[in-house]
A and B are shown apart, each in its own frame.
Chain A
Amino acid sequence: MGIMAKSRIYSPWLFHFHCGGCNGCDIETLAALSPRWDPERFGIQLVPSPRHADILIATGCVPKQFIPMVKRVYEQVPDPKVVVAIGGCACGGSLFYNEDPDNYAILGSPDLLVPVDVYVPGCAPKPEAIINGIVQGILKLAEKKKAVKKA
């Protein structure tokens, strides 16, 4: 493995993207980045701008007014990128799944709009589960660059 491929695995930067929802998953996500688990040991950092990020952490179900922002933030993350959906709402809509009649405000999970690579279900998932999801995302990140190189 070359040093560039290694450095991609060694320094994943996260952008925490709150798509909408109840904030429970956001609290757990921030707890996963807290000193108790300390992912900075492995170079995982929370970055303020999607342009700096490698991994987009999406939480919550998308309100209809928020559709353009979700698409735009996804496009702002430079390649190679990975999207990790955290929580039941982000994984499939949870209690907003396939409502009848249609919900006037809520579209559903973010994977209707952007390609999601890793799903972390739970309401809300534990920090350990979130870290596991991020690790799966890092492994996918390494694979993605290989795929780009082959093409």
Chain B
Amino acid sequence: MPDALFTTITAIIMIPVAFFLSIIYLFLLRKFSARFQWRVGPVISMYADLKPLLGRSRILQPLYDILKLFGKDTVVPSVARKTLFKASPYLALACAFGAIFFIPLPGVPLLSYLDDSLVIASYLLIAAVMFTILGAASSGSPWSAIGARRESEIFLVYEIGFVVALFAAAMTYGTLSIWTIATTSSLPLLLLNPFAAVLLFLVMIGKLGIKPLDIAEAETEIVGGPYTEYSGKYLGMLQLTKGFLFYDMVGLFIVLFLAPMFGTALWIPVYIISAIVVVLFLSIVHVLHPRWKIDRAMRSYGLLIAVFAILAVIMVALALSYNWVVV
């Protein structure tokens, strides 16, 4: 167990690092999807004649979006339940932000060495989505209400898969501490239990609103879904929540399924590369699929989640009974 001072210092350093990484992940998602659609996407090096007006680079485009939203006027609808409407973006952001301390980087355990860190992290990630739904439901707009209902329907499906995927890792290594899972394994869990990895990837698609399952914020049908009534700083906070959720989910995927690289900080470049690969796979899914209908999403996505959950549990049972885990 690392000492308290080291944990405090790394946690403070971690805040800007996680913020920067989440901005980069959001940028990469936009850039990769643009390239797949034969577009340029946010430019990495600005055209020479436009540099004085438009800046040198747009790698920080999601950051500019968030900063702009914080600088804008904030409109609160008169029919909303104001306390809940204003509080939920703060609470959602707090949960997604709190979860970054339970996602370790190579050589930096943060709070993930705690005995139950996997449970705490999963609760924080669930709560961040819950508060988004709550804020939308309290806004008094029919579009937000439909968005909240869709979000909660899809939420009920993927949370089962989320819990099974996390506990497949926990049962395989016999611990609920993320750091113990990350450091004791000698073989990536991706090879040992690929079904659980696919399951967590499917959950990420639902949780982050990647294309076939972005039915909650389907802008061509229900305006903005849960975000319809939010503007200004509250929308900025929800964008920030999305960024941190992105960081949390990608980090959780790497730490649980691509594990044996958390011994020293020298593995950080490998961590970054694997994060980029995960984002690349997410953007491939994002560009290849049209949006599903809600009933089809419930049926097909539920079926996928159920099948992979059962297969993941079977693989865990096999791994435990034949002692595949080399600690």
Which residues from chain A sit less than 8 Å from chain B, CB to CB?
3-4, 6-11, 13, 35, 38, 40-43, 47-49, 51-52, 54, 76, 78-80, 145
Contact = CB atoms under 8 A, between A and B. Distances in A.
Contacts of A6: 55, 64
Nearest to B75: A78
Contact of A51 (B42, B50, B67, B231): B231
Given A11-B64, A52-B227, A52-B235, A78 B58 contact: no
Nearest to B239: A52
B68 A10 contact: yes
A8 B68 contact: yes
Contacts, number: 94
Nearest to A34: B39
B219 A48 contact: yes
A73 B207 CA distance: 31
Nearest to A45: B65
Given A10-B68, A11-B65, A51-B75, A42 B58 contact: yes
Contacts of A78: 72-75, 231-232
A111 to B, nearest CB: 22
A35 to B, nearest CB: 4
A149 to B, nearest CB: 11
B61 interface: yes
What range describes how many residues of B lie at the interface? 35 or more
B224 interface: yes
Interface of B: 30, 34, 37-43, 50, 53-55, 58, 61, 63-65, 67-68, 70-75, 219-220, 223-224, 227-232, 235
B34 A38 contact: yes
Contacts of A51: 75, 224, 228-231, 235
B192 to A, nearest CB: 40
A46 B53 CA distance: 21
Contact of B43 (A11, A42, A48): A42
B25 to A, nearest CB: 17
B61 A11 contact: yes
B61 A10 contact: yes
Contacts of B229: 49, 51
Contacts of B30: 40
Nearest to A42: B54
A49 B228 contact: yes
B41, B55, B68, B228 interface centre (most CB from chain A within 10 Å): B68
